[in-house]
Amino acid sequence: MLRRLHRLRVSLLPLAVHVGSLVPLAILLWDFATDRLTANPIQEVQLRTGRYALILLVLSLACSPVSRMLRLPRVQSLRRPLGLYAFMYAGLHLLNFVAIDYGFDPGLIGEGIFEKRYVLLGFASFLALLPLAVTSTRGWMKRLGRNWQRLHWLVYLASVLAIAHFALQVKADLSRPVLFAVAVTVLMIARLPVVRRTANRFGGSLRRLLP
Ligand code: HEM
């Protein structure tokens, strides 16, 4: 019975990822339609889409270690949708900046970047995510072979750049960027061979603790 309940919970994971990733977008659209996006709706969209992109990016990074430690191979398959949703929010974040805030005006965008230097780190993070999104298909995975794994290390660079972008933008209260930085550092440490070996040894026991 418990085993069946556990299997059902695991099979619901992909659905939870799609719903959980799309609900913030639905709420954003609803708040836009009902005029609830604060007195500065453009800024609110910028902040919310940036936040969602970073949260989903970090969650996608957590899939491999969690799947390994809890011996739940299906968690590993959530990495791709989470990464793609992160890229979708980063795309909306960029679009809001260049199209809605700056009206595709290269001069204004240049001035905006000069004024807000942290935007360059955001652009760099987006550029690091771009090849990952493009090569996320099975076809690209086969074509690139081992290089696909190497290329996907870029996700750590994208995360570090996004957190630096976040930290420089908030100015005073650094608690949120620091929290993300700690999470990404822990996830990077979890990839070290010695940590992976230890996790493999304890993985079975952890897995047995689950209902
Ligand atoms: C694509 C180029 C990017 C541009 C032009 C850009 C621009 C901006 C701007 C202008 C803000 C500040 C909004 C304000 O204070 O009014 C911001 C905040 C933020 N951005 Fe970006 N960004 C970019 C990429 C990214 C990426 C790739 C991520 C994450 C993966 C990201 C995550 C964030 C976060 C977390 C915030 C702060 C949200 C908060 O304070 O709650 N940005 N971005």
CA 99 to centroid of ligand 1, rounded, Å? 15
Nearest CA to ligand 1 atom 3: 122
Domain that holds residue 141: 2-209
Please give the residue that has the higher pLDDT: either 73 or 107: 107
Question: Which backbone phi and psi does 77 adopt, to 5 degrees?
Answer: -75, -5
Regarding the beta carbon of 54 and ligand 1, being less than 6 Å apart is answered: yes
Which CATH number goes with the domain that contains 39? 1.20.120
Alpha carbon 21 to its chain's center: 10
Q: What is the mean pLDDT of residues 173-200?
A: 92
If DSSP states are collapsed to H, E and C, what string results for the chain?
A: CHHHHHHHHHHCHHHHHHHHHHHHHHHHHHHHHCCCCCCCHHHHHHHHHHHHHHHHHHHHHHHHHHHHHCCCHHHHCCHHHHHHHHHHHHHHHHHHHHHHHCCCCHHHHHHHHHHCCHHHHHHHHHHHHHHHHHCCCHHHHHHHCHHHHHHCCHHHHHHHHHHHHHHHHHCCCCHHHHHHHHHHHHHHHCCCHHHHHHHHHHHHHHHHHCC
CA 48 to centroid of ligand 1, rounded, Å? 9
Distance CA(196)–CA(202), nearest Å, equals 10
Q: Mean pLDDT for the chain?
A: 92
User: If we measure between CA atoms, which residue out of 103, 126, 101 comes closest to residue 50?
Assistant: 126
Distance CA(105)–CA(153), nearest Å, equals 34
Nearest CA to ligand 1 atom 25: 122
Tokens read off for 32: 């836009």
How confident is the model over 100-153, as pLDDT tens digits?
999 999 999 999 999 999 999 999 999 999 999 999 999 999 999 999 999 999
How confident is the model over 13-55, as pLDDT tens digits?
999 999 999 999 999 999 999 999 999 999 999 999 999 999 9
- Number of structural domains, the chain? 1
pLDDT at 211 over 60: no
Regarding the beta carbon of 85 and ligand 1, being less than 6 Å apart is answered: no
Regarding the beta carbon of 122 and ligand 1, being less than 6 Å apart is answered: yes
Please give the residue that has the higher pLDDT: either 191 or 47: 47
Query: Which distant-in-sequence residues (6+ apart) come within 8 Å of 66 by Cβ?
Result: 72, 75
Nearest CA to ligand 1 atom 7: 119
